[in-house]
Structure 1
Amino acid sequence: MIETFNRSTQARLEVREVDVAYGETTIVGNVGFVLETGTIGCLLGPSGCGKTTLLRAIAGFEPVSRGEVLIRGQRVAKPGWMLPPERRHIGMVFQDFALFPHLSVAGNVGFGLRTTSSSQRRQRVDELLELVGLSHAASLFPHELSGGMQQRVALARAMAPRPDILLLDEPFSSMDAELREQLAREVRTLLKREGVTAILVTHDQLEAFAMADMIGVMSQGAVHQWGTGFGLYHEPVDRFVADFIGQGVLLPASVLDAEQVRTELGQISGQQPHGLEPGTPAEVLIRPDDILYDESSPRQATIVERAFRGAEFLYSLQLDSGSEVLCLVPSHHRHAIGDRIGIRLEADHLVAFACPCTGKS
């Protein structure tokens, strides 16, 4: 039976229990998530975790060995069959840019608009070049641009035809950190305005937070957690997510009941049940913002490292037990390594894991 593809419905993306394998080696295993129309998703993880392979399967460049991919409720990939990429009405930004060397910047951006009128094409090209900060470079050619500028042209070209789904594979990787976050926010604004469903692949969590509504944290071909940036930061489901998202340490603790644990810094309560029996040795995630600098506090810790962050110092503090925690302190409170400072615990979220020695997760 020939499967057809109807573009009249909304651009909802579903990935259902997908595996992607090369020969006998499974690169992506049992991945599933849903992106509603106009939602921006992100596949976030370290290099080699399978996020780009999964993106390529969604695009139609890699076959799935299990599961299925649906766009607008219609199947575009299943084992043994996949709809060609050009029939999925997607846009994709590759890491290697793939610009046309014989076309100017404006020509590259407008390449997918050849069926529109010249005035519409010019308006859309001008709009996108302004967005990516390249209005001044419209007549230049790719070889005259820096790597970062070429990447911005590739982004604008993919967005020009207003695709229903935009796939971005590390699109800001060659730019400096400040420009990456700024452009991520600006691209998000444009995508939201046009109602485009998008997926970003990145290893940079700040970039993910700036752009995405929903984020999937990946490792070794699996999505460990799918949720909002806030949820991933405050309610990680396992140690990998807790360690990969944000900064923090796991501090030894003892479970008091279903919603309370005791640490050397004090008792922590939370609404998220951790499922550990009273008396169980545990570890609690402590973020830098959970430790407040308090000159009047009787509890003190020793500064062992510090990093200047402009408005704040990030101090690594050693507790009397030898355990270390992190603390953000306004930079006008400048202390030297070796100084003792007062601190107090103010944790709003309880995130506890059984100690590895218990054999529980």
Structure 2
Amino acid sequence: MSNRLELCDVDVGYGARAVVRAASFALGEGEIGCLLGSSGCGKTTLLRAIAGFEPVSSGEIWIHGRRVATPGQMLAPEERRVGMVFQDFALFPHLSVARNIGFGLRHLSRRERRARVASLLELVGLGHTAELFPHQLSGGMQQRVALARAMAPRPEVLLLDEPFSSMDAALREQLAREVREVLKREGVTAVLVTHDQLEAFAMADRIAMLADGTIQQCGSGFSLYHEPVNRLVADFIGQGAFLPATAIDALSVRTELGRIAGTRPHGLALDLPAEVLIRPDDLVDDDASPVRATVVERAYRGAEYLYRLELPSGAEVLCLLPSHHQYAPGAQIGIRLEAKHLVAFARTGVQAASPGSN
């Protein structure tokens, strides 16, 4: 499968200040990618460079086999065949839904334009809204109109800049799934920018996590969660706690909770202190377990409670348990380790995140 979008060692900066360094990222036809990271990490700057709004100071950007950016070349945004969905949707308030979607189709005949608009309205589930105006639609419906408008000219790559940021958390994840379904049906290659990992997991095939201006890891949501390549990725993706560990052999370590084995060499020296990442789903409650933990705090999550537990050593871990198991703070419970992945690093001493944090 040839790449529809490819970034090769791209640097982007403002003046002498480098914002993004040595970014490499590729998407095949119909793949959905995500640039994920906290505010200020460089993800929006990188998206703007793909769109043609920012020059690159090093490296190359290719779109469908065409080089569109180098330090000495910057193809204009309108010549890149890139669509854009912005945070505020940027719909024209004085135009109907149908005319908003058809705005970029003036090169088509009236009949072709009407057919394309009608097709997109059905694709995004808004066939009944053609004559309505943006102010008559909900936020989620406006978002789908903006998506349809960006897809209308059949861009080579569709860029989505925090498109769900104005919506509450539950709606963001739902819309991410809906948008993914629409993009997959149309076969669109797309890049999402977000700081919300659940949004990224719901929508993207490949996620590039950025921190300090560099792509720390690129892969599926599963690999970033279960196989983080460094502490930056492990700390940002999901929740968890680091426990002191000792390497037993090339594939396993011993912790206060027991032995954890992996399928790949962990690379830890046998005589140096280490620490292992324990995710909330790596622990289960077990009344017969000899390992006892004290409930410090709990947060209700609907089907589950997220508990913060203190081990006999004083170290803390997080544990997800079904909500029909209710343990009050101060209670002693038995826990058992059921880790399927080994994630270990040189020890630095990190405490568990609070159950109320994300």
Q: Quick check: TM above 0.5? A: yes
Q: Distance in 1 between matches of 2:166 and 2:117?
A: 22
Match of 1:5 in 2: none
Secondary structure of 2:254 counterpart: strand
Unpaired runs of at least 5, structure 1 = 1-8
Change (3 A) 1:124 1:352: same
Could you tell which deviates more after superposition, 150-159 or 236-245? 150-159
Change (3 A) 1:305 1:111: same
Q: Distance in 2 between matches of 1:331 and 1:269?
A: 29
Query: What TM-score, normalized by structure 2, do the two folds share?
Result: 0.92
User: 1:309 offset after TM fit, Å?
Assistant: 1.1
Say if 1:256 and 1:279, in contact at 8 Å, map to a contact too: no
Residue 178 in structure 1 maps to residue 170 in structure 2: yes
Unpaired runs of at least 5, structure 2 = 350-358
Residue 196 in structure 1 maps to residue 178 in structure 2: no
Runs of 4+ in 1 over 6 A off after TM superposition: none
Residue 300 in structure 1 maps to residue 292 in structure 2: yes
Residue 243 in structure 1 maps to residue 264 in structure 2: no
User: 1:219 offset after TM fit, Å?
Assistant: 1.0
Residue 226 in structure 1 maps to residue 218 in structure 2: yes
1:242-321 alignment, distance < 5 Å: 242-321=234-313
The CA RMSD measured in Å over matched residues stands at: 2.0
**AA of the residue aligned to 2:46:** L
**Structure 1, residues 212-235: CA drift from partner, whole Å, max 9, x if none?**
110000112111000111100000
Match of 1:3 in 2: none
User: 1:273 offset after TM fit, Å?
Assistant: 1.6
Match of 1:23 in 2: 15
Q: Distance in 2 between matches of 1:226 and 1:10?
A: 18
Q: Distance in 2 between matches of 1:278 and 1:301?
A: 28
Match of 2:355 in 1: none
User: Which among 45, 58, 81 is matched to residue 89 of structure 1?
Assistant: 81
Secondary structure of 1:243 counterpart: helix
Could you tell which deviates more after superposition, 188-197 or 212-221? 188-197
User: Which among 107, 127, 131 is matched to residue 99 of structure 2?
Assistant: 107
1:16-95 alignment, distance < 5 Å: 16-95=8-87
Could you tell which deviates more after superposition, 156-165 or 240-249? 156-165
**AA of the residue aligned to 2:320:** L
Say if 2:209 and 2:233, in contact at 8 Å, map to a contact too: yes
Change (3 A) 1:175 1:129: farther
Match of 2:356 in 1: none
Query: What TM-score, normalized by structure 1, do the two folds share?
Result: 0.91
**Structure 1, residues 249-281: CA drift from partner, whole Å, max 9, x if none?**
111111122111110000111012221111221
Q: Structure 1 vs Structure 2: percent identity of aligned residues?
A: 70
Q: Distance in 2 between matches of 1:193 and 1:306?
A: 41
Q: How many corresponding residue pairs?
A: 349
User: 1:37 offset after TM fit, Å?
Assistant: 1.3
